[in-house]
Amino acid sequence: MRVSFLLNLIIFLTTILFITSCNQPTIQKEKLSCNKLISEINTTQEFKFFFDNDTIITQADKNEEFYSFKCKNGKRIYRKKKFRLYPLKNNESIKKAELIIHVNNELKENKLIGVFSKIVNLNNESYLFQEEIGKRIIESNQRREGIILKIQNKDSYIFIESTKREAFSSSIDLSIQNFINQNILNECYIDKISTIKFISIIKKHLGNVNPNYFYLNPITNKAEPILAGLTNFKINKSKNIIVEECQSDSNFLTYFNKDQNNNFLFLKNDISVIESKLTIPDGYVIKINAGQQIDIINYASVISFSPIECKGTVDNKIHIFSSDSTGQGIHILQKNESSIIDHLVFSNQNSFSKRTKVSSWLLPSALTFYGGEVTINNSEFRDLYSEDAINTFRNKYSFSNSTIENTFSDAFDADFSFGSINNCSFINCGNDAVDISGGELDLNYSHFSVVKDKAISAGEESIMHVNNCTIEKSSLGIISKDLSKVNASNSSISNCEIAYCAFQKKGEFGPGSIVSTNNIESNCKKTHLIEFKSELSLNDSIINEFEYNVIDYLYGNIYGKATVK
């Protein structure tokens, strides 16, 4: 009887303990530690962390709501150079931090800007770790570096300023003011789709909370919202978003006709001379027919929020050129639509630039595809004076049976994009020929000749497969950097300065790796230049010859060419 009573008591107490522990916020043990209390930081000072068996010296400072840190000597914590620690003093604040982590993860899953956040325990003190709002948070969210605007509340007045004191347009300022104060979304200056999706996620978890930062996307020239921090969010008293539609300039109708259903745009003339900057709104498909020609002059350009279809033939190609060499290209900023390019000759173009006294809108390429999908086949791109001849950004692409020749800088640049390149030629490229960042590429049966810097380059955790390609008379052959992985097979590299190069360029990433199988390297000054911790495997043999600080050899210092912008 006594034994039975004791057994039941143990079961009861164990059950209570289990239920209690389940209701407590969980804080995982971390590989991050420090030997001082963070709560003792009162002024700017050096502060040591221990992370991944390394000592990280930071510059620490105390703010009203958090502690800020900046890593020194090129080191990182959770791949972040700058970060904040928000004190979590009770279970309620820990639960709030867990909710903030969940919200930011959901934002990232929806391809919105999310802030890297996690709970850490340091000397029995709990903190919310968040990356600092800056350039790296933008790039880690698969976006191009741009102006970040901070929203500050001063005596019921909203004050907006750039985190780096850059100038930005008063229209952007006014649009953000109206959005924060009145819930009015002007889609000319604020990205409607991302903002509505953002507000929906925030409202579901945190209520009617306003963003406290905006990122000015340099490609779309529209602002996208960010929410950082733990507390003191500004509450939005308005319930519904009021969308102000963008009244687009209709000057594109000088050159295009609409079909009866307003779905398609057709050139009015088979030979069109465009001499002003055109902006085409979304809701159309631009149709360029076989044999038609577009001459872009007088620093003109075409920015389109609608997809394009250029369908030429072998005997009747489409020509887009600039007779006065001032054309600033065509830029397709589509959503999730698809563009098709076939039998196009695209030449003599520059990067896009639109400047005012207080702001500028710049695109580095002569031909841009942002979002959605693009298929390019049987086409020629030559004599292009832009930083990138072709740039795909957050895009799915297919590039086949085409040539890029005589470029001022990079030929084909793919950022956060996934695609294939088949049976293409890259000739006389002023910088890189194929350069991908944060994406994946299958590259087959293509030829590279006279490339001033890198013929084939993978960066920022990219994955690339190279098969049956030839590289000749170039500076660097196949390059992997910043946690990228390149598998190359059945290819040849000849008469180059360096056949293979793997290294780390950016501090928040890591070494690169290359696996070379059944390739032929001939007449190269160096077969390989591999940085310590990076990897090269040649036909199943691991190369153990390393150099330190490989970046000091590249970009025109000894090999290759400096990046030109």
pLDDT digits (tens, 9 = 90+) for 423-454: 999 999 999 999 999 999 999 999 999 999 99
Q: Which residues contact 133 (CB under 8 A, 6 or more apart)?
A: 115, 148, 150, 163, 213, 226, 228
The DSSP call for residue 77 is B
Mean pLDDT of 207-222: 93
Give the range among 154-158, 334-338, 450-454 with minimum mean pLDDT. 154-158
pLDDT surpasses 80 at 246: yes
Considering only the C-alpha atoms of the chain, give the largest distance between any 2 of them, rounded to a whole number of Å. 103
Put the strands of the sheet holding 344-347 in their side by side order.
271-274, 293-296, 318-321, 344-347, 380-384, 403-407, 425-429, 447-451, 470-472, 492-494, 520-522
- State the Cα–Cα distance between residues 242 and 251, nearest whole angstrom: 27
Residue 346, Cβ density class (10 Å: 0-12 exposed, 13-18 middle, ≥19 buried): buried
What's the CA gap between 257 and 269, in Å, rounded?
10
- Residue 18, CB half-sphere, CA atoms under 13 Å: how many? 6
**CATH class, range 409-565:** mainly beta
Please give the residue that has the higher pLDDT: either 483 or 565.
483
Lowest mean pLDDT among 1-5, 252-256, 322-326: 1-5
Q: Quick one: pLDDT band at residue 335, thresholds 50, 70, 90?
A: confident
Q: What integer pLDDT is reported at residue 28 of this predicted model?
A: 45
Q: Hey, how many other C-beta atoms are within 10 angstroms of the C-beta on 420? A: 15
Q: What pLDDT was estimated at residue 354?
A: 85
Q: Say which residue the tokens 């038609």 belong to.
A: 292
* Token pair 């695609």 in the structure block, residue: 419
Strands (E), 123-277: 125-131, 147-154, 157-162, 184-186, 213-217, 222-226, 242-244, 256-258, 264-267, 271-274
- Average pLDDT, rounded, for the chain: 92
523-532 average pLDDT score: 97
The pLDDT assigned to 30 comes to 53
Question: Side chain identity at 191, as an amino acid letter?
Answer: D
Q: Is the model more confident about 249 or about 243? A: 243
Q: What is the pLDDT of residue 164?
A: 92
pLDDT tier for residue 565 given thresholds of 50, 70 and 90 = low
pLDDT mean over 239-264: 88
pLDDT digits (tens, 9 = 90+) for 383-408: 999 999 999 999 999 999 999 999 99
pLDDT-derived band at 142 (thresholds 50, 70, 90) equals very high
Instruction: In whole angstroms, give the CA distance from residue 404 to residue 412.
Output: 8
Residues 75-110 pLDDT 10s? 999 999 999 999 999 999 999 999 999 999 999 999
List Cβ neighbours of 141 (8 Å cut-off, separation of 6 or more): 108, 112, 113, 114
Output the pLDDT for position 248: 73
Cα separation of the two ends of the chain: 86
What is the predicted pLDDT for the residue at 321?
Answer: 98
Flag whether pLDDT at 148 surpasses 80.
yes
Would you place residue 8 in the very low, low, confident or very high pLDDT band (cuts 50, 70, 90)?
low
Model pLDDT, residue 3? 47
pLDDT more than 70, % of the chain: 93
pLDDT of the residue at 18: 44
Higher-pLDDT residue of 30 and 462 is 462
pLDDT band at 517 (very low <50, low <70, confident <90, very high): very high
Q: What pLDDT is recorded for position 358?
A: 64
Residue type at 323? S
* pLDDT over 90 percentage in the chain: 82
CA angle, residues 47, 87, 210, in degrees to nearest 5: 120
Angle CA(416)–CA(422)–CA(427) in degrees, nearest 5? Answer: 90
Dist CA 359 CA 345 (whole Å): 33
Q: Is the dihedral of CA 75, 77, 78, 80 positive or negative?
A: negative
In this model, does residue 19 exceed pLDDT 70? no
Query: At residue 10, does pLDDT exceed 60?
Result: no
Which pTM value belongs to this model? Answer: 0.90
Give tens-digit pLDDT for 218-242.
Answer: 999 999 999 999 877 777 766 688 9
Work out the average pLDDT over 312-316: 97
C-alpha 318/C-alpha 111 separation (Å) is 35
Higher-confidence residue of 535 and 250: namely 535
What does the pLDDT read at residue 357? 65
Q: Give pLDDT, residue 313.
A: 98
Q: What is the pLDDT of residue 453?
A: 97
Residue 211: predicted pLDDT: 93
Structure tokens at 184: 């009015």
